[in-house]
Structure 1
């Protein structure tokens, strides 16, 4: 299985290298005319922008969880869908997309529930969004709710604290736009290129091309298992956090 993953990764690298070479085939040493540094083909693909770009894969449109499954048993996702949003059902467990991805732009909106002021730190509005099912961008009610720096909203959990705290008040919606680049592994299972992530929280950059050190462990150091494409996963941490408007553009 590992050999297949490695070969697929190397094939992807070869394709990327070929595309780069094609884009730069007209570059010459000491150009003397404007046309010497211009290349026209292949023409740049057109994408229609908007609330949802024309080439986006819609993962949740507010109607059903057909694109999601339970991590527990691979069965139907058992979270609640109502009023255009999905909400964590305590004990139902984490859910994942049925489809797997590598490099992408992810848009996702989340809402902390109205909870008692007696709940503090990690006990308030806690959930998470996992890139490839193993690298967590933290979801937490961090509005007037102090917690450890590398565990608050917008952190790469237990690794990198956000640059700032841009969390909306409890009960209001937050928006994450995430640019994720998957790790590339060597033939012998080492890391050729680590994973990187940029997170824009409510229009504010909170992670700027941040290196992901490995899996985001609750206890212990990050691990770096060799893997291929993986799902987007959402965490059941016991708080009724809601999500809506989830779409992804592969890159």
Structure 2
């Protein structure tokens, strides 16, 4: 066990970029032998209010305009913009960011409609989705006292990973996703050598814990990876008047 720990420490120094320094420090066996001073983590300024964008984030939606978004057909978004939120307009189609992203931390606040039609149950209530790199859907759904298939409920990777919890608030109340995404890696032949990984917190509670995504989201059938580089964030028009606000992203 001791040799294993020494190896891990040595590897940490090697990853910091100096094998000779690591060997020298290990031979000294002093408190300083396990201190790594460079490189230092970069300094950012956190937001004053929890949930707001830190200094190194890109604000994708500030509640005032669709400047960073287009409809999936490339036209200007036709969603409703009111009171600092954008709301799905049925038939207006999905929208996506103009910019594409690789690895990232994504903050999204969303709200299902306050008025619930008693005839709407399961996937028919407050349905939308957040597509990471336009491929992997983190489900948005009103699951407050509303049962559906487990791998299709709020904060699931749709049709793939079941959330650890159901943390849904009541319809009409704002909810928060923090999404941490590591993009898949492909070799020169286009074969996946490392899958995408996703971690999600729903209203501050861990919902998905670094799960490996099997491939792009499919409604029918099994997912299959195909090589690509980056992709946009896409929000789904599923026919329900779901609202979004305070969307920001940190590229990692």
- TM-score > 0.5, shorter chain as reference: yes
Q: In the alignment, does 2:39 pair up with 1:42?
A: yes
Structure 2 counterpart of 1:83: 83
Give a deviation string over 1:14-62, Cα, whole Å, max 9, x none.
xxxxxx9562424224442233332323332101112221101000000
The range that moved more, 217-226 or 37-46, is 37-46
Alpha-carbon distance between aligned partners in 1 of 2:15 and 2:192, rounded to the nearest angstrom: 27
Runs of 4 or more consecutive aligned structure 1 residues displaced over 6 Å after TM superposition: none
Larger Rg: 2
Structure 1 counterpart of 2:172: 171
Structure 2 counterpart of 1:23: 16
Give a deviation string over 1:80-127, Cα, whole Å, max 9, x none.
110000000111100000011000110000000022121000011000
Q: Which runs of 5+ in 2 are unaligned?
A: 1-12
Change (3 A) 1:31 1:146: farther
Contact residue 104 and residue 180 of structure 2 kept, 8 A: yes
Alpha-carbon distance between aligned partners in 1 of 2:215 and 2:235, rounded to the nearest angstrom: 18
Alpha-carbon distance between aligned partners in 2 of 1:147 and 1:206, rounded to the nearest angstrom: 17
Alpha-carbon distance between aligned partners in 1 of 2:163 and 2:74, rounded to the nearest angstrom: 33
Aligned length: 232
Change (3 A) 1:35 1:148: same
Structure 1 counterpart of 2:10: none
Q: Which runs of 5+ in 1 are unaligned?
A: 1-19
Structure 1 counterpart of 2:5: none
Q: In the alignment, does 2:107 pair up with 1:112?
A: no
Structure 2 counterpart of 1:142: 143
- Once the two structures are superposed, the pairs formed by residues 1-251 of structure 1 within 5 Å of their partners are 21=14, 23-25=16-18, 26-28=21-23, 29-50=26-47, 51-71=52-72, 73-113=73-113, 114-251=115-252
Q: Provide the secondary structure at the position in 2 that maps to 1:63.
A: coil
Change (3 A) 1:31 1:141: farther
Shift of 1:190: 1.1
Q: Provide the secondary structure at the position in 2 that maps to 1:122.
A: helix
Contact residue 62 and residue 245 of structure 1 kept, 8 A: yes
Alpha-carbon RMSD across the aligned residues, in angstroms, is 1.5
